[in-house]
Every structure is written in structure tokens, then in C-alpha cells.
Amino acid sequence: MDKIIIEGGKPLKGEVSISGSKNATLPILAATLLTDETCILRNVPKLLDTHTMIKLLKSLGKDIEWDKDKLIIMSAGKPNPVADYKLVSTMRGSICVLGPLLTKLGEARVSLPGGCVIGVRPVDLHIKGVEALGAKVDIEAGYIIARTKRLKGTRVYLGGASGPSVLGTANIMMAATLAEGETVIECAACEPEVEDLANFLNEMGARIKGQGSPRIIIQGVRKLHGADYKISPDRIEAGTFVLLAAMARSHFVIRDIDYHQLMALEDVLSKVGVHVEADKNMVRVKPAKVIKPVSITTYPFPGFPTDLQAQYMALMTLADGVSVIRDTVFPDRFMHIAELNRMGARIRREGGSAIIEGGHELCGAPVIASDLRASAALVMAGLVARGKTEIRRVYHLDRGYENIDKKLMALGASIKREKE
């Protein structure tokens, strides 16, 4: 297992390019199960989660190979409807194979998924959706077992306790592509990653409209074909680097970014005192001389992303005053508080909120990453802290950030990776 060692306080400058979206790549990979024809995906990030999904698809009957900057997915014989526990248990996104397997093969046996420990993430909306489409579903020995002769279009409401489900919307949308008739998903997730998936499915011959809005309409078709598609940039990686530039008070350039997807972040940063200049697919961050404390609440898109909550908390540790962060999407996603406090931050939790008393110097310390986005927050803190920071369990970081240590080194950071 690796650890990352950072010597803080080094000035950052230069340029960084954003990789393809992890949260779009995983369901798009799952969508290739809907066809027997070859699919080509470009701008696929080389991440631990991507490799896990590739292993899963291979176990389900796909032959996959990297060819320079593209991924080629081909059929390799009779498909397998069983998504095994050993692979699914390590990654939440693997639940996305449920819809494609069920609608294509008429059956699916998918292990209940794992992933980051950031709070309860039930699969009830996935089950509700496929049952509404006509599947018979049972839970046995830790597996979701679903069967159908052919799914039939319907109206399904996918609002949950914390708002729409991104993976639930993706799963039901994929299942509906080969269903008989029309399916309408109400309270659908509006995230850009759902829109990216829908655009890929349409390239395969699906008939989907309304993606990016709370109502998605799918006209079922008999068959889908192969497609050649480019994955969009990762808005969460982009937001992480924007927040890093603000925190490190650095003037580096971020390329391959769609900043329009980060309007909530842009709005908050303008109140913090950080100015961001966007020009096509590039941004320049002009940090604030004094970081103002601004409280936020996370919401589903287009609200402030829960996936940037930890990184924003790291920034607020340097703010001149008190700020409050409330996470309505994952109210228990605060395991990074204790680790940031080890570095000199003053943060306390009250229910579903974190209260940050900013303005205290951060100092390097040995810390442990609890999840993917917490890892990024600790890296950010380490880069601006006085002294050395050692971050353990960085496999979380490798799940969602492609070559982040190399990208940071190119910006001038003193960062290295070692075996624990």
C-alpha cells in the first residue's frame, strides 16, 4: 500500500489538464453491455475504479483493450449475467450493470455494492425503478436478483430522501433503452454525468430526450449498436484544482475544463473573494488576499456538489472567520474533520453540519485518508501546510484522480509516493 509525502509551502505555477470524468466513465462502460457490437471510448481516465469496472465487464463477457488514448470494448462470447461480489463490493459505480444486464439478457444477479465509507447509500431506487419496468426482484445472500421476459415502459419517480439518485437515474435510463414503449423518469438526476451517459446511449441508437432536466423520456428500441464516443472532462477534478489554486494562492492555468458545470462553485468563490477567469475550455484563478468565510449547503446538481465539500472545507480552514458547511446529500460525510484537525484546523461537527473556525496555520502531520474526496482535501492541506505531511491509504485517491501526484509535481509541488 502506498503513502504520499508532501513538503508544504512550495509555490505552484504552470498548467494542469483535467482528465476524463470518472463519474461519467463508469456508467458509460456499463452501457456497452447493451450491445454486441464494438464500442470505442476516448478520454477514459486511467483510475483504479476504471480498471475495476473493466475487470467486471470482462467477467460479464466483454473483451477490452487499451489502444493509446482510447478503450476498445468488444463482445467475447456468451454474456454472463452474474456480477460477482469480489469486484462489485469495492466500487459503488458497479451497480450500474444491473439495468443493462436485465434489459439485454432478461436476468441479472448483481452483488450489493461497496465504495467509499461516506454514509448510507441505499439501492432502493434502483430496485423500485426496475420493478416499475416489470422486473421481478429478490435480495438473496447479498445479491440483487432480477428477472424479466422484456421490460415495459412506464412512469417512474426517482426522488429519494436526499434528492434524485444519479446512479439510479443512470440504471433505469439504461434499462429503459431496450424496454417496450415509452419510459418517463420523473425527478431524474440532472448531473452532467447523466447527460453524458444519455448522449452516449443516443450515439448507440437509443431514443432519449430531456437529459440534464428532471424529466427524462426514453422511447424503447429493439437493438443498440456500437459507438465511438469521447468522455467529458471531470468537473470534480476541475473543481478540486480550482479550490487548490485558491487555497495555495497560486496563479496556475487549468485546461480541459467545462467551468459552466461549476456555477455553484463559481458563485461561492466570488463571495470568498476568489476571481476565476474562464475562456473556452481553460480557466485562470486569481486568489484572494484575504479569504472570506462563506457558509455553504451541498445539494444535487446544479447545487454545490457534495464531492467538493471536503476540498472546500480545507479552503475554509484558512478563511478569516467562521463558516458552516451543511451536507444534505451525505450528512455523515465528515470523516476528514478529525484529520484536518490533526493538521491544526479548528473544526467541530454538529449534526449534519461542520463549523470551521478559520485563520489558523496548518502544520504537516501524519494523516489517514478515509475516502476519495477526503484524500484530495488532505493533499490540498498538505500542500499549504508548514512542514511535512504523510497521507496513508491513498488508494482512495487513485480511485478518482488520474496521476494527481505527477500533475502536482509538474506545478512545482514537493510530493512523492512511497510504499508504507
Contact indicator for 276, 269 with CB cutoff of 8 Å = yes
What is the identity of the amino acid at 261? Q
- Residue 313, SS3? helix
d(CA 167, CA 23): 9
Ramachandran assignment for 43, one of left (phi > 0), alpha (psi -120 to 50 degrees), beta (any other): left
CA dihedral over 317, 48, 113, 179, signed as positive or negative: positive
DSSP state of 300: S
Q: Which long-range contacts (CB under 8 A, 24 or more apart) does 261-264 make?
A: 261/192, 261/235, 262/235, 262/238, 263/302, 264/299, 264/302, 264/303, 264/304, 264/305
Contact indicator for 251, 286 with CB cutoff of 8 Å = yes
HSE-CB of 72 using CA atoms within 13 angstroms: 7
Contact indicator for 176, 217 with CB cutoff of 8 Å = no
Contacting residues for 257 by C-beta, under 8 A, at least 6 apart: 18, 233, 235, 238, 281, 282, 283
- Residue 280, SS3? coil
Contacting residues for 156 by C-beta, under 8 A, at least 6 apart: 128, 129, 132, 133, 172, 183, 184, 185, 186
d(CA 402, CA 399): 8
Q: Which of 206, 127, 135, 170 is nearest to 23 (CA)?
A: 170
Q: Which cell is 173 given?
A: 435510463
Active site residues: 116
Bridge partners for 39 per DSSP: 73
Asked if residue 11 has a cis previous peptide bond (ω within 30° of 0), the answer is no
